[in-house]
Structure 1
């Protein structure tokens, strides 16, 4: 499952059914017998969990990390809700802190989950159902116990009234039933799907006693009751929100939480512009930022504070799939309905020039939807991957079988003459010709024109050179810069021609791929299928990914799907980085061990001695021992 709960999906799901069996009858029906599966502390997508039942903490945390301190972070745009599970409104940054899930993923395994609200999970060999036993001491912040009724209510309300993606994500959860005072069983449908027990483990649990008398579909403008490590302490809608660590948090002593959630409070201040955020970082008003702009990383933090060691710039390598970012074309619009036109758009983007002149050479070109991982397609299809593709040969372009995909490249000079020539040839094949220096359709005589929708001023400098090359082709593109709220709403309604989009991926893709690429998702407002892909081959390959019975099968199916998506030319691929670039004031410390998924700020803590020296204005660059005479 890619990217955790926020990667979720769409489709039509069945209503969750509460069993009519008395509890005692259910327990008799489901339990007992020598062949009944034993409860387990965790579950892996393939194989066995890395950590044993008696593990004390994850390897990538510091279990002795001190608690305390206040952290100031920055958020872009604004917010008007504390409900991150619906279409309406923009949820506050950090709202996910409020609600725990049944289980939690580790960051050093492809996809393995361990009990959080659930102390154990029980599944049969075919994973056709999963039964969770809730922890006796799991509590809401108002002191009420977390119950089986809360769990069933959460699944029901998310699928019926939550974001449409939940209906697809949980589409194969056929029913949920109470099987004991602290036991809940989910029954699955739709054939073999090893992921289902894990994705139901990601279910955010919501308090029935709070929500059942409120309208879940509306933006919530006051903090709801939660169960997680933090609660809202202070807020002003659209301007700031502060979360405080819950001192009596019910789950603070669990192994999965050791060394995590160490700050006493976390405050998000909202800014309209990322340039202003960077100024706030340098002024000490923001403590930590993950920098995602190469120019800013290279130039904006050359300050006395950085030279003295008070402001730290750190690159932390990671091995997680970097997914896909690119100029996404909306195939619902006639201008991008032809794959030859979409392919031509890629030849107009000069990545090499941009990387050299705009990005200081800090990026690698993305050539897979699963870049930086073994899931990325490579070479020509063979073995099991070829077997999965072969039944669809007559529906696929021949390049899928005969060419390895490479994004168009240039010499970086800024004049991609050969690439534009190729683009002209593709456009001519698709019925577009040049007349009076304009690219027009040979039948209608209308010039090709479209709008590129963006929300970040930082992206203008990337888009404008691309626009320049498009105009060299005789196209009339325009760039539309809107605020984040309008941008989100327009994407939800697929109201764009071309935009900058990204799709995160995990080491274990699964059900979320339906929300990304399926035909059903293409017609569902709010889905992540922004290009509007409606391809029965892609639909079939998504199911191959979901139903993969082994790691080897998953890799083969994912590579096959990746290859078909690439040759569909739905995006003009951008770039990726294999490091996380962090800027922070020198009062933090973090674990030495960094998992494959990269750093997590929730594992960091404040070093009081460094914080004191920072407050008192001391330089924090260490003097080498030989210079000290030692």
Structure 2
């Protein structure tokens, strides 16, 4: 038997050697990729392909904000933060918009991670500065991380759950150690950390919601605000990072302004009247019918569809399964089959949309056909804990002939409801105790009511009462955080490299966290297992397989009624704006646009200068 003291010496020496070996294999880089493949852009690249380095500077970009705002702190679980506030902050890295998931240094000049992904180190740029001239240091990075996970919204605790500690190694060097090895995404996620000034927040309450302009380090600072009505940003002339390759061709406007509108219909009319410059259209009906105006015909307003190569994600009518009536999967399926997408798409959306059939639609990550042998290796251990249909057939939402007559689906829904213990009495659907089946659909968009009214009629035919409750943004946020709703319409956006954010959507630990995006209330150990497997994928092939397995289980759970998607961004803008010829894959890239020096601000026609009432929908 080895002497205890001697054994400790050997043990410590072995650990030290292992750490040295790990460090020796790592090397600082200008970029990190998910699976250690070479990044698209080399260390000496001059600008992203989707940016114009010669874009002229100047002018003002005017946009519309939704409803109102009451805080300039977007990091806490209080209030409705102002649009564009992220322009005032710099992050450690920036993700390119034409790669699956690659991070390039911003505040961090170099990036270094352990070969086994057990830690990541950031080397900060000495020239990085806050707007007050003070240098950004590793202490600021550590302060930011600790503050966000202790005082920020719950999403930060979920997002950074695998971080064990943050270590300040020197003034310009900081390291994050992880609880588990193998989380490939975590080093890149930490690069998205916005860096907050420790010295500025030392005299302020981070948890308080207020309208004091924050001290940041980004390309813009808050110029002035009109509380709840508008916010003005001005470009920082001596911005420390303006010559970096990742910023070249961006932040071209001298000012960025958001004016707030409580009604999107009024906002659209204001856009057409020249009150602001850019509009992202989310209504198929409006795209087809609302732009037959002189300014479009003569080219002063440009309508353009820009390709969207992102996974579509899942927008849907989301069930809150914390409610007893919605805990039975048969009930949720019954409510799902009563939504007539084909009629809705034809009559309300001019046939513009594609039905969403996956939580990762429009990508290779979507589950189609039967499970592959690789998927079955993941799913078989969960047999009996997940729906049997996962193993039997691919998920497909029901399809109608768009006539509006769905008697077969109503019979199917009735059979499911009776199997779940519901019955019809006096033309009302009631449970075993005679309590009527009532649902409240919580809504913030007035435009969506016309989509829900036909669905309400389909439910009423089976004796189910659906109340559509529209509230203002503040009430909506409060009720969302307190989980006070039966159904809502929302989305679960996805990237081409899903990872740690899936915990925020589906993990049991987030079901009771106010402010998390586990809107459904999922507490399913099988889904937790699938999420962790997805996060732990070591190759792209593994990631695709594990994502498809998770997708199947979510779909057959009937946790949402899938809505629809479109594969372009529908943009409308006044012709003084221009954008690069090459557009990014995963974003509109608005901050790479610029104002043409020779084109003046729009002069609306008198017939278009006044907003007019018009029915509008907001579908995405």
Q: TM-score, structure 1 length as denominator?
A: 0.92
1:422 aligned partner: 412
1:497 aligned partner: 486
Kept after mapping to 2: 8 A contact 1:454/1:479: yes
Kept after mapping to 2: 8 A contact 1:433/1:440: yes
Provide the C-alpha distance between the structure 2 equivalents of 1:65 and 1:29, rounded to a whole number of angstroms: 50
1:582 aligned partner: 571
2:39 aligned partner: 49
Q: Specify which of 137, 148, 152 is matched with residue 162 of structure 1.
A: 152
Provide the C-alpha distance between the structure 1 equivalents of 2:116 and 2:210, rounded to a whole number of angstroms: 40
1:35, distance to aligned residue in structure 2 (A): 2.5
1:471, distance to aligned residue in structure 2 (A): 0.3
Summarize the Cα distance change of 1:28–1:246 in structure 2 as closer, same or farther, 3 Å threshold.
Answer: farther
Stretch moving more, 547-556 or 608-617: 608-617
Q: Report the 3-state secondary structure (helix = DSSP H, G, I; strand = E; otherwise coil) of the residue aligned with 1:257.
A: coil
Kept after mapping to 2: 8 A contact 1:587/1:607: yes
Q: Report the 3-state secondary structure (helix = DSSP H, G, I; strand = E; otherwise coil) of the residue aligned with 1:93.
A: coil
Summarize the Cα distance change of 1:546–1:218 in structure 2 as closer, same or farther, 3 Å threshold.
Answer: same
Summarize the Cα distance change of 1:275–1:179 in structure 2 as closer, same or farther, 3 Å threshold.
Answer: same
1:180, distance to aligned residue in structure 2 (A): 2.3
Residues 381-530 of structure 1: pairs in structure 2 closer than 5 A: 381-441=371-431, 443-530=432-519
**Runs of at least 5 residues in structure 2 that lack an aligned partner in the other structure:** 1-15, 607-620
Q: Specify which of 578, 596, 611 is matched with residue 607 of structure 1.
A: 596
2:291 aligned partner: 301
Kept after mapping to 2: 8 A contact 1:244/1:264: yes
1:87 aligned partner: 77
Runs (4+) of structure 1 exceeding 4 A deviation are: 27-34, 612-617
1:537 aligned partner: 526
Q: Report the 3-state secondary structure (helix = DSSP H, G, I; strand = E; otherwise coil) of the residue aligned with 2:259.
A: strand
1:431, distance to aligned residue in structure 2 (A): 0.7
Kept after mapping to 2: 8 A contact 1:291/1:583: yes
Q: Report the 3-state secondary structure (helix = DSSP H, G, I; strand = E; otherwise coil) of the residue aligned with 2:505.
A: helix
Q: Report the 3-state secondary structure (helix = DSSP H, G, I; strand = E; otherwise coil) of the residue aligned with 1:35.
A: helix
Kept after mapping to 1: 8 A contact 2:56/2:597: no
Kept after mapping to 2: 8 A contact 1:231/1:244: yes
1:610, distance to aligned residue in structure 2 (A): 3.3
Provide the C-alpha distance between the structure 2 equivalents of 1:260 and 1:292, rounded to a whole number of angstroms: 25
Does 1:573 pair with 2:542?
no
Provide the C-alpha distance between the structure 2 equivalents of 1:417 and 1:376, rounded to a whole number of angstroms: 30
Provide the C-alpha distance between the structure 2 equivalents of 1:84 and 1:34, rounded to a whole number of angstroms: 36
1:429, distance to aligned residue in structure 2 (A): 0.8
Summarize the Cα distance change of 1:360–1:184 in structure 2 as closer, same or farther, 3 Å threshold.
Answer: same
Kept after mapping to 2: 8 A contact 1:288/1:585: yes
1:313, distance to aligned residue in structure 2 (A): 1.0
Summarize the Cα distance change of 1:612–1:437 in structure 2 as closer, same or farther, 3 Å threshold.
Answer: closer
Kept after mapping to 2: 8 A contact 1:587/1:614: no
Provide the C-alpha distance between the structure 2 equivalents of 1:367 and 1:563, rounded to a whole number of angstroms: 10
Does 1:370 pair with 2:370?
no
Q: Report the 3-state secondary structure (helix = DSSP H, G, I; strand = E; otherwise coil) of the residue aligned with 1:316.
A: strand
Provide the C-alpha distance between the structure 2 equivalents of 1:219 and 1:30, rounded to a whole number of angstroms: 43
Kept after mapping to 2: 8 A contact 1:316/1:598: no
Kept after mapping to 1: 8 A contact 2:300/2:602: no
2:92 aligned partner: 102
Q: Specify which of 266, 274, 278 is matched with residue 268 of structure 2.
A: 278
1:36, distance to aligned residue in structure 2 (A): 4.3
Q: Report the 3-state secondary structure (helix = DSSP H, G, I; strand = E; otherwise coil) of the residue aligned with 1:141.
A: coil
Residues 314-393 of structure 1: pairs in structure 2 closer than 5 A: 314-393=304-383
Provide the C-alpha distance between the structure 2 equivalents of 1:451 and 1:613, rounded to a whole number of angstroms: 43
Q: Specify which of 230, 239, 249 is matched with residue 229 of structure 2.
A: 239
Kept after mapping to 1: 8 A contact 2:273/2:604: no
Provide the C-alpha distance between the structure 1 equivalents of 2:193 and 2:23, rounded to a whole number of angstroms: 30
Provide the C-alpha distance between the structure 1 equivalents of 2:139 and 2:442, rounded to a whole number of angstroms: 44
Q: Specify which of 560, 582, 599 is matched with residue 593 of structure 1.
A: 582
Q: Specify which of 125, 129, 148 is matched with residue 139 of structure 1.
A: 129
1:74 aligned partner: 64
Does 1:201 pair with 2:179?
no
Q: Report the 3-state secondary structure (helix = DSSP H, G, I; strand = E; otherwise coil) of the residue aligned with 1:59.
A: coil
Kept after mapping to 2: 8 A contact 1:586/1:611: no
How many aligned residue pairs are there? 590
Provide the C-alpha distance between the structure 1 equivalents of 2:19 and 2:87, rounded to a whole number of angstroms: 34
**Runs of at least 5 residues in structure 1 that lack an aligned partner in the other structure:** 1-26, 618-630
Provide the C-alpha distance between the structure 2 equivalents of 1:330 and 1:406, rounded to a whole number of angstroms: 22
For residues 137-178 of structure 1, the C-alpha deviation after alignment (integer angstroms, 9 at most, x for no partner) is 000000000011000000000001111111111111111112
Kept after mapping to 1: 8 A contact 2:574/2:602: no
Summarize the Cα distance change of 1:209–1:28 in structure 2 as closer, same or farther, 3 Å threshold.
Answer: farther
Provide the C-alpha distance between the structure 1 equivalents of 2:23 and 2:512, rounded to a whole number of angstroms: 48
2:169 aligned partner: 179
1:547 aligned partner: 536
Provide the C-alpha distance between the structure 1 equivalents of 2:541 and 2:573, rounded to a whole number of angstroms: 40
1:123, distance to aligned residue in structure 2 (A): 1.2
Summarize the Cα distance change of 1:33–1:567 in structure 2 as closer, same or farther, 3 Å threshold.
Answer: closer
Provide the C-alpha distance between the structure 2 equivalents of 1:575 and 1:612, rounded to a whole number of angstroms: 36
Summarize the Cα distance change of 1:394–1:615 in structure 2 as closer, same or farther, 3 Å threshold.
Answer: closer
Provide the C-alpha distance between the structure 2 equivalents of 1:440 and 1:268, rounded to a whole number of angstroms: 48
Stretch moving more, 598-607 or 235-244: 598-607
Summarize the Cα distance change of 1:348–1:160 in structure 2 as closer, same or farther, 3 Å threshold.
Answer: same
For residues 518-548 of structure 1, the C-alpha deviation after alignment (integer angstroms, 9 at most, x for no partner) is 1111111111011101111100000011100
Summarize the Cα distance change of 1:304–1:51 in structure 2 as closer, same or farther, 3 Å threshold.
Answer: same
1:33, distance to aligned residue in structure 2 (A): 9.4
1:220, distance to aligned residue in structure 2 (A): 2.5
Summarize the Cα distance change of 1:293–1:377 in structure 2 as closer, same or farther, 3 Å threshold.
Answer: same
1:216 aligned partner: 206
Stretch moving more, 589-598 or 485-494: 589-598
Provide the C-alpha distance between the structure 1 equivalents of 2:256 and 2:167, rounded to a whole number of angstroms: 38
Kept after mapping to 2: 8 A contact 1:452/1:497: yes
1:289 aligned partner: 279
For residues 221-275 of structure 1, the C-alpha deviation after alignment (integer angstroms, 9 at most, x for no partner) is 1101000010001111101000011111001000100111111101000111001
1:602, distance to aligned residue in structure 2 (A): 0.8
1:191, distance to aligned residue in structure 2 (A): 3.5
